[in-house]
Amino acid sequence: MMKPTIDISLPDRYDILARKAVGQLSQIISPVDAALDHIDVLHADMRASSRGTFLILRGDSGTGKSTFIHTINLFRDDVETISFPKERDIAEVLVSLGPTMRQLRVIVFEGREALTDVSKELLEKSIHSINSFVRTSAGERTVVAWPANRDDLAANLASLATEIGAEALTGLGDPVFRFQGPTKAEFIPIANKTLALLNQGETLHDLGISDGRATQLVEESSTIGVFLAKIRRELLSNQRQLATLAKKEICRVWVVVLAGNEPEGDIDGLTRGTMYSADIDRMLSVTNANIVKDLKEFPEKLGMLGTYLDARVLHVPVLAALAAVRTYASDNLRTIMRSEGMLVAPERDAKDRLANTNLVASFSDTPIGARKVGGKVGSNSIAAFEKLTKIASTNDIETNRAIAACLLDLGVVSGCTYEQDFGTGMSRRTDIVATSDSGTVRLEMMWRRKTGRAEIANYVLTKLFNYGKAIGYLSNNRAEA
C-alpha cells in the first residue's frame, strides 16, 4: 500500500524559488523598501549624470540579496536584471553588451560574494572594466551590482572603486549599501505565502507549526534564509513524527457530502487548492461546537494531521447520488426504498453522473477544474433525495454500498470494505475503505437532508480528531459522533 506523503516545497534560495514559481514570484516576494529607495536614488543620479553606476551590495548570506536584485522589476517599472555566472569574465561580458532599451538595467555577477571567490588581480581588473563600461553609452542606464557577504570583500571593492573611479563610479556617500533584507515582522507572512503557492495553499498551521513556535523560530533566525531553513526542518520533523505514530495504517481520509441543498459553496468556503483540501483554520472559525473548543488548543497539530491524511471535503450532487443508489442498490435497499415510495428503476446515465463529480476526479490525483453549472434540481428529485437521507440516517451501510458499487463499476477503485476499524480508540468505524491505484482512501459519507458550513466543518474536524486520537497523535479524550 502506498502511504501518502507531504512533499514539502520551501526553497530558501532565489534560483530554486524562481525555478519552482515560474511567473508567480509577485505572489511571494515582499518589497525591501530601504533597498528600493536606494535604487531610486542611484537611478535619479544616473539620469542626471548620463552614466551608469557601480553598486556594492553588502548583506549576510540568506538575507535575500539575489532575490532583491532579480525582482526589482516587480516593484519598479521598466527594469531588467541580467546575471552572469562566476565562469564569465567580467571584462569580456561588459565589452559585449550594447545599450539597453529599458529605463534601468541591473547586471549582477554571481558567485563572487566572498574575498576567497576572486583574486586581488581580478578584483582590480574587474573594477577598471566596470568603471570604463558605466561611462559608455552602452552602460549609461546600467547598475553593475556586486553582492558581498563579507566585510573584507566589500571594503576592498569600495577602496578600489574610490581609487579608480571615485564618485563618478559609485556616487557620493558610502559606496557600500548595507542590505538588511526583509524585517523579522515579514518572515512568517513570507513563509506562509511561499508554502501556499508551492504546496496547494497550505500554511504553517496546516503543516504543524503553531503561531508561538513560528514566532520563536523568527527570534532565533538572523535572516529570512535561516528562518525558512528552520521552518523546513521543523516541517520535516513533524512529518516523521506522524509517520512513526501511524505504524498500523496510513491512508487518505475524504469526507463526502451528499445533501439536498447542494452545498458546493459551503464546501468551497472550507477548502483550499484544486484538490478540495480541508482548510483547518477556516473550519475552526465557522463553528463553536464543543469539540472545536478543545481542538483550538492545538490547531497546528490538527492541520498537520489533515495534511498528512490528505483530508478533503468532496461533494456528490443530488442527481448523481440518486442515480447511483437507484442503479446499484442491493435487493434489501430496493425493498426499503419502495416502502418509502421511491422509484428504484436503474438509470442509464448513473455512471456518467458520478464520473463527473469531484469525488471520482480525486481518485486520479489531478487538479479539479471548474464545476459544470447544471440546471436546478427539480422538486421531485429533492423529495426523493430527502427520503434517501431518511434511509441513510438509520441504514447508511446500504446507501454507502450502492455508491461504492458505482465507483467499482467505474474502475476508479479496485475494492471496498465497510465499517472498518482504524487504529485504537475510534468512536466510529470508517464508512467505506476504498482501494485504488493511489493507495487506500477512507471515505466518510455525510448524508444530510440539508447542511451548511458550520455543520460540515464540525463533521470534518470531529473525524480528523478521531483519526488523530486513534494513532496517538491527539490525546484529548473528548470526541463527538
pLDDT in tens, 111-167: 888 777 777 888 899 999 999 999 999 999 999 999 999 899 999 999 999 889 887
Mean pLDDT of 404-409: 97
**Structure confidence by residue, pLDDT tens digits, 44-83:** 999 999 999 999 999 999 999 999 999 999 999 999 999 9
Q: Centre a 10 Å sphere on the Cβ of residue 317 and count the other Cβ atoms it contains.
A: 21
In 3D space, the residue among 400, 428, 429, 427 whose CA is nearest the CA of residue 416 turns out to be: 400
Higher confidence at residue 221 or residue 368?
221
pLDDT(182) > 90: yes
Q: Is the pTM of this model over 0.85?
A: no
Find cell 490547531 and name the residue: 299
CA of 152: how far to CAs of 58, 110, 337, 394, in Å? 10, 18, 84, 77
Find cell 479539479 and name the residue: 368
**pLDDT at site 8:** 82
In 3D space, the residue among 44, 57, 45, 49 whose CA is nearest the CA of residue 83 turns out to be: 57
**pLDDT at site 6:** 55
pLDDT(34) > 70: yes
